Amino acid sequence: MRPDVMSPRLGAEIGPAPVAVVAERSAPLKPERRDPLAALRVGLCYWWRHGRWPDLTHPRLFTEWVQWRKLHDRDPRYPALADKVAAKAFVAETLGTEWVTPTLWRGRALPAEPVWPRPFVVKSRHGCNQTAFVHDEGAEWAGLRRRARGWMRRGYGWWLDEWAYRRIERGLLIEPFLGDARTSPLDYKLFVFGGRVEAVQVHLDRDGRHRWIVFDRLWRRVSGASADADPPRPASLSAMIAAAEVLGAGFDFVRVDFYEVAGRPVFGEMTFYPGSGLYRLDPPDLDATWGECWRRAREASATPVSAALRTRSA
C-alpha cells in the first residue's frame, strides 16, 4: 500500500477516527482540584510573550484559545493522543501501520550501552522538546542517559498548565532516524479546525537556525516575505491533509504533524497546545484568522464557551 497515493482507509467510506477507542485506552481521569492561581500563571506567561493580557473568558485570538483550553478543556482523549506511544497505536489502527515510525525500544531507563543501528532518535513519550539524535559511534551515551533521567524525574505540563501532558505515563522510546545522513526531514504541521485543515506550517532546519513558513491547504504562502525560498509542495500533501482530517474529526482544534520520507507521509504527533500559545504568529493577523476558525469549529460542535465554563466551575 502506498500512503503517498492514498491509503484505502482514508476513502470516503470511513467516518471520523474512532476517538472513543482512545478514550477507553486512556487512564481513568480522577477529579482535579481547581488551582486558583492557574489563570494568573497563564495570563502572566501570555503577557510576558505577547505584551498584552489574554481574554480568558471570551477568547478571540488563536493564542488566547490555547490558553482557554489549558484552563477549561479536560477532554479525556487528549492525554492518550498526546502520548507518543499510545498515539502510534491509534494512528496505526486508524490509518494503517505504514503511517507510523517503528519503535525500536521503549522503557523507563536507557540501557548502559546502545544496541540499535545508528542513526536513531531518543524521545520522551510524555513531553515536548525532549529529543536527542544519535548519529555515530562517538556519541556521548553517558551524557544522553543523564539527560533522559532528567526527563523522567520531571513531569511535563505543570509549569505551562498543559493539563494533558500531566496525565501521560512517563517513559522513553527510541526510533530510527528518518532523515538523510545528518539532515532531519522537513516537518509539516497541519492545523485542523473542526475536522478541516486550514494551514500547513513547514519547519526548516530544526537542528540549526530553526524557523518556519505557513502555507494554506492549496500550498499558497501565507507567511510574510523572507530570505527563504518556498519549499516545494510535498508529493504527499493531499494524503497528509486527508489523514489529518480523519484524525482531527471530532475536535474543535488539533495540530497533526507529518514528515515526508521518500515521497511518502509518516505520522509525527498530535498536539493540542501548539507552542503553548506563546509564539507570535507571522503574519500577526493569523492569530485572529485562526481564532475565528476555532470559534466556528467550537460553535459547530454545540459546546459553546459559556457551557464549558459552567461545567468547569460546577
User: How does pLDDT run across 267-280, given as a tens digit for each residue?
Assistant: 999 999 999 999 99
Measure the CA–CA gap between 25 and 135, rounded to whole angstroms: 34
pLDDT digits (tens, 9 = 90+) for 68-79: 999 999 999 999
Residue located via cell numbers 501521560: 168
Q: What is the pLDDT of residue 91?
A: 98
Which pLDDT band, with edges at 50, 70 and 90, does 24 fall under?
very low
Q: Map residue 24 onto helix, strand or coil.
A: helix
Q: How many CB atoms lie within 10 A of CB 25?
A: 14
In contact, 54 and 43? CB cutoff 8 Å: yes
166 burial (CB, 10 Å; 0-12 / 13-18 / 19+) is middle
Q: What is the pLDDT of residue 76?
A: 96
Which pLDDT band, with edges at 50, 70 and 90, does 208 fall under?
low
